[in-house]
Structure 1
Amino acid sequence: MNQLDQLKAFTTVVADTGNFKQMAQYAPRDATTNPSLILKAVQNADYAPLLRDTVAAHRGEPLDRIVDQVLVRFGLEILKVVPGRVSTEVDARLSFDTAATIARAHYLIGLYEAAGIARERVLIKIAATWEGIQAAKALEQSGIHCNLTLLFSFCQAVACGEAGIQLISPFVGRIYDWYKKQAGASWDEAAMAGANDPGVRSVSHIYRYYKKFGIKTEVMGASFRNVGQITALAGCDLLTISPDLLAQLQASDAPLQAALTPALAEAATDLHAVSYQESSFRYALNEDAMGTEKLAEGIRAFAVDAAKLDQLIVGLQ
């Protein structure tokens, strides 16, 4: 049995791509998208007609509405391939606007429901800023489930758990990138691999904390740089994986065991419950240089790609 099939025995595998024509071969349950992945997909000749047709069908509408139509069109195609859920992201430029994020999420869900898709099959992706978490809390209370993304710091995970969020996406690879860059020439790749990888340690800590204290929020490790990070998190609720790394897992027959289990987490004695209000959340995030920098950098990068997608659409009108 290959590693991908072994992984599926104890972790829900999610495809991290906008390329719905490629994902079927890996039989993921869910799929995630983001502005960068959609931008990459629409520049592929295979998807040019989809973009062109969607823009033509909504010509004359406000630009943000056309963009959402494109995102949902990709989501609808993905849902023909996966049996579970698709994550569709709210514009990153709204990451500090709670009311606008809520309004955008309702619009996206409305488009899916108008196309006959139950809201249970959609996760609205929102950056895990304080404002984003509050937006997601309100959305969850109205029956719209959310995926809090760009999550790097433990305080973000705790706040999401307290807010009753459906799912979080802690970013393994970007945490690894930051620590590797900080270490410079002193970085020891072998010593910092597997369970010692700083990104793996972060997600493991969040998973153990959630299970120890009965927090229902799902943990989905994201943003992987290598297969070793994935196998070190085997047993995590979900892992969202790029097609390249899915292919590597599928090509390997090496034995794989669960590294994370609820039983081990519940038996842990090194975990203590914490809680955050807005001021303590902002201070804790500020104290975490990696979390602060990677959150800001991630929002900026998604905003840049959202603007590029805007321009592609404007060019087709």
Structure 2
Amino acid sequence: MNLLDQLKTMTVVVADTGDFESIKAFKPRDATTNPSLILAASGNAKYQPLIDSAVSFARAKGGSKREQLSLCMDKLSVNFGTEILKIVPQRVSTEVDSRLSFNTEATVAKARQLIQLYADSGVPKEKILIKIASTWEGVKAAEVLEKEGIHCNLTLLFSLAQAIVCAEGGIQLISPFVGRIYDWYKKDLGVDDIPATEDPGVKSVTEIFKYYKKYGYKTEVMGASFRKAGEIIELAGCDLLTISPTLLKELGETDGTLVKKLDANDLGDYNQPKLSLDENAFRWMLNEDAMATEKLAEGIRKFAADIVKLEAIISKKL
């Protein structure tokens, strides 16, 4: 078997794309989207019907231009998710507006709105993961939603501190960003590359996985944001891995033997003490990690910038 087929025997493979053809080609169980992926897809003519449908829906509901734009953006995300669910057998992740990352109440309201739009399209909430940035406010919002049976995917996660509060909050799934951690350390060290076996992003996900398994947390770990196939190979055995079409293709075209690197039943000599973090302890632990602090803020800004770009495109159609 090629590496991709072997990986699917030990890890749930998720497609990190908004492109339907790529999802069909690689047959993942789940799919994830974000504002950047939808922005990229929106430039393709084959997705125009999804945009036009969202515009017509928002116009019909009326309200101010601002209200129509907000509703249209939500409906567009749901349109993409609904179409993706015709391809993947399990779940799709749909992201809450990253500009709400520090507003618990607004995040909860937006998530409920997305779930209602999915329900109106005939999609049950069990098929959806609401993506929320791993800020303190985001985690608190996700806790509320989880109690309502709305499962969440906490994204832009770069540190054990974020992972711990997610697990303690009973969150369904987290997405630690391997590649962005790699980017930060590569720049900080002034090097062109870091071998996958020494990759700080790989090490971060490995630690989170072992911490969760050691202390019996049910929160799923989904490694994300990969820069190269070697990172994926080093995380074989992780609960889930969300992978871009480019890297899925590379793995599918590569033969060899894939070794399971992460195993819940074999944690080696892992001995990190169990931690419980209140808000003050969380903020301090995150603050002490320069990489995580910088990449979380940068990630929120970048997703927000892509939302603004997408809104500009949609506004012209309203």
Q: Which range, TM-score by smaller chain?
A: over 0.9
CA contact (8 A) 2:54 2:73 kept: no
In the alignment of these two chains, the number of paired residues is: 312
Specify every segment of 5 or more residues in structure 1 that has no aligned partner in the other structure, as ranges.
none
1:202 shift after superposition: 0.2
CA contact (8 A) 1:15 1:28 kept: yes
Match of 1:262 in 2: 264
SS state of the match for residue 88, structure 2?
coil
Match of 2:294 in 1: 293
Encode CA deviations 1:178-224: one digit per residue, 9 max, x unaligned. 0000011xx373xx322311000000000000000000000000000
* CA distance in 2: counterparts of 1:36 and 1:269, whole angstroms: 36
Match of 2:76 in 1: 70
Match of 2:57 in 1: 57
Q: RMSD in angstroms over aligned alpha carbons? A: 1.0
Match of 1:28 in 2: 28
1:230 counterpart (219, 223, 232): 232
Tell me if 1:45 matches 2:45. yes
1:309 shift after superposition: 1.0
Alignment of 1:83-98 (within 5 A): 83-98=89-104
* CA distance in 1: counterparts of 2:57 and 2:285, whole angstroms: 46
* CA distance in 2: counterparts of 1:154 and 1:14, whole angstroms: 23
Encode CA deviations 1:260-281: one digit per residue, 9 max, x unaligned. 000112x534221011000010
SS state of the match for residue 270, structure 1?
coil
SS state of the match for residue 262, structure 1?
coil
2:184 counterpart (173, 178, 183): 178
* CA distance in 1: counterparts of 2:54 and 2:117, whole angstroms: 13
Identical-pair percentage: 59
1:162 counterpart (163, 168, 171): 168
1:118 counterpart (124, 135, 146): 124
* CA distance in 1: counterparts of 2:159 and 2:211, whole angstroms: 13
CA contact (8 A) 2:57 2:72 kept: no
Specify every segment of 5 or more residues in structure 2 that has no aligned partner in the other structure, as ranges.
none
2:196 counterpart (187, 194, 197): 194
SS state of the match for residue 81, structure 2?
helix
* CA distance in 2: counterparts of 1:50 and 1:205, whole angstroms: 40
For normalisation by structure 1, the TM-score amounts to 0.96
Encode CA deviations 1:4-24: one digit per residue, 9 max, x unaligned. 110000000000001112211
What amino acid maps onto 1:313 in structure 2?
A: I
CA contact (8 A) 2:129 2:152 kept: yes
